[in-house]
Structure 1
């Protein structure tokens, strides 16, 4: 299996790749050069329960917290602009899905939307580098959004699948926090 997905499409990762026990999720983008402040994008993986809520704030994976509480999801910085390694076998049973998003750094000097982003792609590869699937995000709404859920790895029965999402936010990090329970007390 290798292919390009459209928003809403799913790919059966482990069912179509017997023995697949880990994946590398790569996020890449191309930005228009700026003479002033440029948009600083922050990729994040949100490890969620069956209700779509983050397990704990220790289960956010990004540049400042490079692995989940159980170490099954790890932030790398390799061939794509950003890579996140997921050890599918070690992901606890309580985890229903892992959401991959990008938000605009909320620095007040930064641009207010993703308008300078020409293209953005999320790809899922086997640990040996073999690409399993990719989702090039449609960019026609970038001038109205400041965060986007690119895709999610999720459990379906005993298998892992990937869903191309492409859900944009006009509320940035605040929207991601609200929708996934980030920062709430347990």
Structure 2
């Protein structure tokens, strides 16, 4: 198993011949408080070669648990959330799949990642053999309202993973603008 740092890339299918399915685990811990804690919502965006969502049918989140082509689907909660990606079924026009979590202001009011600790993204096989893990560095998250954990992306005919840990102060709206998502 590889442990990555922010900005690092890992060659998934080259280093794991025959790999055609991964489980993406998103996890975090929240510091308990006496007031309401932020409601964190995981999200996956299937992007075209221009780096934007191929369409709103290429989003996977709580209201759309499976992508239109059924290659990306919410699967379980062994971490906080798990998303299955059938790499062999991802359409050729999809260049990358971005995984992020945002604070939903409609559930418990405006919140941030300030009380979130030990965030990670990990990739494992369908048999739960962990391939890689990225522990998101503990930095000041007082104004962060959305966080890109990482992305799966195509490099020629192979799949790779990039560890990101990129925070947004503009929440889902900021991520939606960057990835061309219609809200």
TM range (shorter): over 0.9
Match of 1:21 in 2: 20
After the TM superposition, which parts of structure 1 deviate over 3 Å for at least 4 consecutive aligned residues?
Answer: none
What do you get for the CA RMSD once the two structures are aligned? Answer: 1.2
Match of 1:85 in 2: 84
Contact 2:102 2:171 in 1 (8 A): yes
Write the deviation string for residues 94-137 of structure 1: whole angstroms up to 9, x where unpaired: 00000000000022743431101012000000111010000011
Match of 1:124 in 2: 123
After TM superposition, give the deviation of residue 25 of structure 1 in Å.
Answer: 0.1
Q: How many residues align?
A: 183
Match of 1:174 in 2: 173
Match of 2:51 in 1: 52
Give the secondary-structure state (helix, strand or coil) at the position aligned to 2:106: coil
TM-score, length-scaled by structure 2: 0.96
TM-score, length-scaled by structure 1: 0.95
CA distance in structure 2 between the partners assigned to 1:133 and 1:168 by the alignment = 21
CA distance in structure 2 between the partners assigned to 1:131 and 1:82 by the alignment = 15
- 1:136 paired with 2:141, answer no
Cα–Cα, structure 1 residues 40 and 108, in superposed 2: closer, same or farther, change >3 Å? Answer: closer
